[in-house]
């Protein structure tokens, strides 16, 4: 965790640091908050996390948020626990719930009320581990149209003639 200077400004989305006279994040295009505001938000989150119970009870309504191999679900469970989000690993009906009986896939379950926060934590982890947060995704919805004269590669944004079925810049095949 890095030091937050109350006199500087910070992006509430990407956490970039700016001089005090700046008003908008260059990357996210959102209004900046002061270091004091950031510290207050962090303190509120820490207080909320300190009071959150890591125990799941029989009364808790649970939701399956992921299904996969036991090892992978345990990794995700560790990530959630670090953010004080309790979770449970459970097997399919009729299995032992330990991932060793039939198929090997288990479910990662959380409280329904923790759903949005848990999904945000896991999405952040996915972006971090795949480096998607450092890629330009502005062309992700581009479509290769053979009938057009030019197209844009959805992977790298390079424009090229549809005479080629491979992006000359990144090598993506269509």
Over residues 75-99, the pLDDT tens digits come to 999 999 999 999 999 987 655 555 4
Q: Which fold has domain 62-134?
A: Alpha-Beta Plaits (3.30.70)
Angle between helix 115-130 and 70-82 (nearest 10): 110
Nearest to 110 by CA among 48, 54, 46, 50: 54
pLDDT band at 137 (very low <50, low <70, confident <90, very high): low
Which stretches within 18-147 are classed as H helix?
Answer: 35-51, 70-82, 115-130
C-alpha span between 148 and 163 (Å, rounded):
10
Q: What is the mean pLDDT of residues 102-128?
A: 88
Q: What is the mean pLDDT of residues 114-130?
A: 89
Start-end of CATH 3.30.70 domains in the chain: 62-134
DSSP H or E stretch at residue 163: none
């Amino acid at each position: 965790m890095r030091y937050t200077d109350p006199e500087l400004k910070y992006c509430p989305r990407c956490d970039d640091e700016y001089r005090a006279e700046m008003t908008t994040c260059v990357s996210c295009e959102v209004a900046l908050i002061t270091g004091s505001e950031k510290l207050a938000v962090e303190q509120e989150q820490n207080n909320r996390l300190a009071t959150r119970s890591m125990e799941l009870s029989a009364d808790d309504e649970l939701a399956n948020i992921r299904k996969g191999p036991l090892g992978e679900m345990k990794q995700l469970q560790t990530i959630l626990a670090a953010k004080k989000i309790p979770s449970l690993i459970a097997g399919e009906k009729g299995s032992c719930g330990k991932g060793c009986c039939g198929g090997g896939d288990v479910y990662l379950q959380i409280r329904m009320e923790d759903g949005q926060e848990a999904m945000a934590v896991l999405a952040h982890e996915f972006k971090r581990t795949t480096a998607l947060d450092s890629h330009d995704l502005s062309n992700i919805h581009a479509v290769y149209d053979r009938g057009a004269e030019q197209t844009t590669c959805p992977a790298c944004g390079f424009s090229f003639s549809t005479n080629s079925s491979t992006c000359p810049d990144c090598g993506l095949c269509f």
